[in-house]
Amino acid sequence: MFLNAAVKMRKAIVASAPGKVILFGEHAVVYDKLGIAASIDTRCFVRISGLPTTPYPRDCHNRGNIVIHSKNFGIERRTSVEEINEILSRYEELRRNNDLDGIKEMNKDVLAPLLVVMGFVMRSAGTPAENFKIEINSHVPKNLGSSSSLFAAACLGLSAFLGKKMSRDEVSKIAYEGDVVAHGGTPSGIDNTIVTHGGYLTYRKSRGFELLDINFEIPLLLVDSGEPARTSETVPFVRKLFEEKREFTESILCKLDRISISGLEAIKQRDLTTVGKLMTEYYRTLRQLEISTEKLDEIIRIALSNDALGAKPTGGWGGGCCLVVAKNSDELIKLKRIYEEFSFRASIAKLGAEGVRLEVEENESSRHGFGTG
């Protein structure tokens, strides 16, 4: 295929990409309604470093001179160029045949999406690529763009390690392929786009993406319900409602679209009070489709009973996280403390973080949770 020799020892590279939140538009974007997303300052870090050229044993369970390690994901795996070639070829054949069931089957291997990304990068670089290690240290919670941030950071970091300069558009395109495997289907493309470019963006299925030139710091709290977002269940559920109760569901989706359009204008006008109010309205409207949970509802109730400007779940619903908008930074800290008293994990998020980027040289990489050896 495309790679078969050992890479020379190179200086380690560290790359990172942010997570993301959906401010307005989840579920409705599937039906050509407006979606608004923003990157957050929680990041996934990936370090690529050379390994000694002494071959490791190549047996059916532990072959190859490419090591993937992540302490926080509990991953330690050795692979090879040959295995990556095989996985990439299988994926491309499934994509050509639009075999979504086959792609879902691939995802039984938790590292298949990353290996697909690595395969695309190494092919693009055209550089011998054995004898290196990829270490992952992600701080991005699941359902907040964690997969896309890993794929974008790995893509930029590995390409730099192999001496290939990639544009953000190239990184985003390859990260999207990883998301196809990770989601077992065809994602909207919001996640890979926003974590690659950073900032804010809008998306409408019939028009595509628009990156926004916005500098608006919203006092925002991310509150984890402790339940995994069940996107793979809620999306088909809404689709079934749309098919069986078309008029009712369409009226909800159209109202969500109007809320999102108003939300975009409020963000552009830096109108924090209106942003919060519209988030709550979005929650109450989408909740009519019965995809909320008691935990999500409790988070919203706590927010509104403690003078928050507004709140809503973000992402797939059915669990996951909520966004809570505070009046100011002092109120934000107060709300964080209140949620912790209710045993919810809450963190302050800064919106509009920089997209995927190269971080530091090897001797500084310990700042991002990696050793220097």
> What are the φ/ψ torsions at residue 63 (nearest 5 degrees)?
-115, 150
For the chain, how many helices (H) and strands (E)? 11, 12
Q: Are 125 and 162 in contact (CB under 8 A)?
A: yes
CB 195 within 8 A of CB 18: yes
247 three-class SS: helix
CA distance 64 to 175: 24
Average pLDDT over residues 332-356: 96
Q: What radius of gyration do the chain's Cα atoms show?
A: 21
pLDDT at 4: 41
Rounded-to-integer distance, Cα 221 and Cα 203, Å: 23
pLDDT tens-digit map of 71-116? 877 888 999 999 999 999 999 999 999 998 899 899 889 999 999 9
The pLDDT assigned to 128 comes to 64
264 versus 233: the higher-pLDDT residue is 264
Q: Which domains does the chain have, with CATH numbers?
A: 13-212+353-368 (3.30.230.10), 220-349 (3.30.70.890)
> Percent of the chain beyond pLDDT 90?
74
Higher pLDDT: 233 or 44? It is 44
Tokens of 243: 């098919």
As a whole number of angstroms, the distance between CA 117 and CA 176 comes to 9
Write the DSSP assignment of 130-155 as a string of letters.
Answer: BSEEEEEEE-PPTTSSHHHHHHHHHH
Q: Which amino acid is at 41?
A: D
- 370 token code pair: 């990696």
Quote the CA–CA distance of 72 and 69 in Å, as a whole number: 9
**8 versus 128: which is more confidently predicted?**
128
The yes-or-no verdict on residue 1 having pLDDT over 50 is no
User: So what's the pLDDT on residue 9?
Assistant: 53
pLDDT at res. 366: 53
Task: Report the alpha-carbon distance of residue 4 to residue 80 in Å, rounded.
Answer: 9
Answer for the pair 280, 312: CB distance below 8 angstroms, yes or no: yes
* pLDDT tens sequence across 180-207: 998 877 788 889 999 999 999 999 989 9
The mean predicted confidence, pLDDT, of the chain is: 89
Where does the pLDDT of residue 225 fall: very low under 50, low under 70, confident under 90, or very high at 90 and above? very high
Contacting residues for 207 by C-beta, under 8 A, at least 6 apart: none
What was the pLDDT predicted at 367?
Answer: 57
pTM for the structure as a whole? 0.85
Summarize pLDDT for 254-285 with one digit per residue, the tens.
Answer: 999 999 999 999 999 999 999 999 999 999 99
* pLDDT of the residue at 235: 84
- Tell me which residue of 347, 320, 353 sits closest to 333, measured CA to CA: 347
Q: Which residues contact 190 (CB under 8 A, 6 or more apart)?
A: 20, 22, 29, 35, 37, 201, 203, 209
For residue 303, the model assigns a pLDDT of 98
For residue 149, pLDDT over 80 is answered with yes
Question: Rounded to whole angstroms, how far apart are CA atoms 206 and 2?
Answer: 37
- Give 64 or 100, the one with higher predicted confidence: 100
Higher pLDDT, 189 or 302: 302
Would you state the pLDDT for residue 203? 94
Record the tokens describing residue 218, joined without a space: 């919203």
Residue 56 has pLDDT above 70, yes or no: no
Pair 118, 147: CB distance under 8 Å: no
pLDDT confidence of residue 356: 97
Please name the residue that has the structure tokens 């995802």.
107
Q: How far is it, in rounded angstroms, from Cα 142 to Cα 154?
A: 17
* 3-state class (DSSP) for residue 29: helix
Q: What is the pLDDT of residue 71?
A: 80
CA distance linking residue 180 with residue 99, whole number of Å: 12
What distance in Å separates the CA atoms of residue 88 and residue 112, rounded to the nearest whole number? 9
Tokens encoding 196: 């690659």
Q: In this predicted structure, what is the pLDDT of residue 150?
A: 97
Pairing of strands 357-361, 321-325: unpaired
Kindly state the average pLDDT of the residues 310-331: 95
- Work out the pLDDT band at 217, boundaries 50, 70, 90: confident
**pLDDT exceeds 90 at position 121:** yes
Give CA–CA dist 256/25, Å, rounded: 7
pLDDT for the residue 127: 73
User: Nearest 5°: phi and psi at 365?
Assistant: -65, -20
pLDDT above 70 for 7: no
pLDDT for 5 beyond 70: no
